[in-house]
Amino acid sequence: MIAMPASPLKAGEALAREPIVLISAAGERKIDVEIADTDATRARGLMFRRALEADRGMLFLYEGEQPISMWMRNTYIPLDMVFIRSDGRIQNIARNTEPFSESIISSSGPVSAVLEIAAGEAKRYGLKAGDQVRHSHFGNAP
């Protein structure tokens, strides 16, 4: 689902930051994410940002599981999009997405969250489908 904001974010409006833990064959990695859990914050996402630091990202949270579609409209930086089921397991990963593209990027099944991180970070973390993400949204926070 590609949602347009009900009300646009104000310039400089800060989002809550929380830690998440990524668990793969390469081990555990803790990163800090901004939380996008409203229509407005999910629609804005990482648009207009010029950089995204290593070990940082944005976690898009949804109620229940549903097929999710994303795009890269107004997004300057390439991203890895990690689609996550409600049990915290990774459904699939769209790697190195193209900046400014309006092509639809699909979750390939029902998910309850999407993690956006800088392109190449999913590979660096050793992430693959079936790996686990820990956060309170999934009921498995450390």
Q: What percent of the chain is predicted at pLDDT more than 70?
A: 91
Tokens representing 1?
Answer: 């689902």
pLDDT computed for residue 13 by the predictor: 59
Go through the chain and tell me how many residues it has.
Answer: 142
pLDDT computed for residue 15 by the predictor: 85
pLDDT computed for residue 126 by the predictor: 97
- Identify the structural domains of the chain with CATH numbers, from first to last: 17-137 (2.60.120.1140)
